[in-house]
Amino acid sequence: MHAFSTPFGKVGRTASSVMMLALLFGSAVARADVVLDWNEIVVNTAVANGQNPFALARSAAIVQLAVFEAVNAITGEYQPYLGTIEAPSDASAEAAVIQAAYRVLSNYFPASASTLDAERANSLAQIPDGQAKNDGIATGEAAALAMIALRANDGSSPPQYKTPGPPVPGEWQATSSCPIVNGVAVGLFYQWQNVTPFGIPSASAFLLDPSPALTSNKYAKTYNEVKTIGSIDSTERPPDRANVVLFYEVSTPTLVFDQAARQVAQEQSHSLSENARGLALTNMAISDSFVAAFLNKYHYNFWRPETAIHAADTDGNPKTDPDPSWVPFITTPCFPSYPSNHGSGSNGGAEVLRRIYGEGGHSITLTNPAVPDIVLQYTSFKQITDDISDARVYGGVHFRTDQDTGTDLGRAVGTAWCTNGEPVRLWGELCRPRISHFFIPSGGRVTRNWSVWSAR
């Protein structure tokens, strides 16, 4: 972990130098400030470049930390993440945001250079020319370059693959989406378990208990659920569940929870600095949850439902009947099942957002151009994560236990800085006992703190 693990907690200096940008217009939609505006550009740029969900989470965390560090160097409202960026107090925080986001995105997505150049020019045109603007641009540039350098060798590349072992009951086997490498179908993102986290000290501190034994009643129950509702021709899948399957198949945790964060931040009129901090924390939690999820996936190497259903006659459980012709509703991702990546990343992001904005009482509308006919409405973050859990089971790609443990894991990552008596990192006043959280005992496995959970 970096030597600069820091609290993001409030310090005494005020934010008198921060000006709210009046209005930016894009596609005739008013936006609250440049932090939210450029967060949308971040996600759209990564999606347009075909980034996978895990690389997208990493890219978004790098951008949002650069944005936070640039703003905070000017306003001094919070403890820094890097602590190496200096800026005049009268520099334009808005210009710093624009340049920080622009520089990181230009570095990682050179194919989008012309689009990003136009977005930058349009955004900077709203800020009066002068020394404050120039100082803001210089601050954003410095923060961006520092974050890029920090993450240059973070383990996210080169790609590594998992070669499946012999077909043993319960062991992951390659499915139809897996690529062929050296003549063998292999698992993807094997290196992601070793990516340097942004906030947590180490992913190894988040080792889950194993999935239920194949001979257990619990396994039989979750097996028969996904077999019944997750098949391509299931008659037990209602239309609304089919919609959430299709929506979340193409909507990553970063896309979903950054979209939700932008809407709720506007709803609650949070400041430029608050939005910079909130989006940095949210995207750090999503990315770190993916790292911890991959560590568990490749540690336990648990089979996917389609493999399990095809080979159920080998699992030793009389309550699981095989079906060699069973096909899931959506394509199975190419890595082990336990725990769910979508569940882990989503609950990491959701846990941050509920601490910043509160669990419910919101008006959130989720859309994705990839599925233009599906529009989802929510009033709480838990409603979103519940739908995501359903989506992966009704889609036939996860057992319910994968989702439940993914929920536990994401929320553990999202509250790691508030628990087990450790110094409060990144959270400051957001560590509120009234919010359910988890503790990590000395044995290292994630366990629910039921006294806090039940008091919610």
Q: What is the mean pLDDT of residues 382-401?
A: 98
Q: Which of the four pLDDT bands, split at 50, 70 and 90, describes residue 418?
A: low
For residue 455, is pLDDT > 70? Answer: no
Q: Which of the four pLDDT bands, split at 50, 70 and 90, describes residue 428?
A: low
Q: What is the mean pLDDT of residues 97-105?
A: 98
**What does the pLDDT read at residue 417?**
61
For residue 76, is pLDDT > 90? Answer: yes
Percentage of the chain with pLDDT > 70?
84
pLDDT tens digits for 280-336? 999 999 999 999 999 999 999 999 999 999 999 999 999 999 999 999 999 999 999
Q: What is the mean pLDDT of residues 447-456?
A: 25
Q: Which of the four pLDDT bands, split at 50, 70 and 90, describes residue 363?
A: very high
For residue 147, is pLDDT > 80? Answer: yes
pLDDT tens digits for 217-260? 999 999 999 999 999 999 999 999 999 999 999 999 999 999 99
Residues constituting the chain: 456
Q: Indicate the fold that domain 197-454 takes in CATH.
A: Vanadium-containing Chloroperoxidase; domain 2 (1.10.606)
Q: Which of the four pLDDT bands, split at 50, 70 and 90, describes residue 416?
A: confident
**What does the pLDDT read at residue 439?**
29
Q: Where are the domains of the chain?
A: 24-150, 197-454
Q: Report in angstroms the alpha-carbon separations of 153 from 81, 83, 150, 194, 286.
A: 18, 20, 8, 11, 20
**What does the pLDDT read at residue 32?**
64
Q: Which of the four pLDDT bands, split at 50, 70 and 90, describes residue 23?
A: very low
